[in-house]
Amino acid sequence: MRIFEMKSEMHRHVRTPAKYFRSRLLFLILWLLTAVSCQEVENPVPVWRVYLNLDLAFEDKELKAVPAYKTYTIKDVNLAQGESIGYGGVLVVHNMFGEYKAFDLSCPYETSQDVLVEVDDEVLYAVCPVCGTKYDVGTGNGAPNGKSRHSLRIYNVIQNGNKLVVTN
């Protein structure tokens, strides 16, 4: 009886090709699930067309100060010239580094065209009046501090002399 017990105990530790394959397959499946779950979720603010042509010499001259900001909503754009303002509007910031940055005005946590962020007096943060999340606009990355996991949607800004073009 003792020999039989030893043989059965030895068989428990022997790895057959099928067991080896199953363990590798299980490892691969778990690794893939982990990799997929770690991916960043898309910004919930819908991607709507943005095109603004700004003139720093006239209508938008207040943006030349450092720091400065200006918001553009549907009432501020010239639709006849093809201008568009994204989902909730556009926030253009001239930050403390002298860079122009642009963001969508919609809070990614609230994801509503009616809930627009408001810029603080120091032009460092845009704050959602509903959820209270503060977004870093002073450095230009729109990173959240609060309920939201997403940054403000960032738009491209191209400067050519006294002209700024904001697009996505």
Longest CA span, the chain: 100
Strands 154-160 and 134-136, sheet pairing: unpaired
Neighbours of 155 (CB within 10 A): 20
State pLDDT tens for residues 17-47: 777 667 676 666 765 665 554 445 689 999 9
Give me the percent of the chain exceeding a pLDDT of 90: 66
| pLDDT surpassing 90 at residue 5 | no
Buried b (16+ CB within 10 A) or exposed e, 118-146: ebeeebbbbbbeeeebbbbbbebebebee
Residue-level pLDDT at 75 = 86
Quote the pTM value: 0.75
16 versus 100: which is more confidently predicted?
A: 100
Beta pairing partners, 106: 116
Q: Which residue reads 């990173």 in tokens? A: 143
For residue 72, the surrounding DSSP H or E stretch is strand 68-72
19 versus 58: which is more confidently predicted?
A: 58
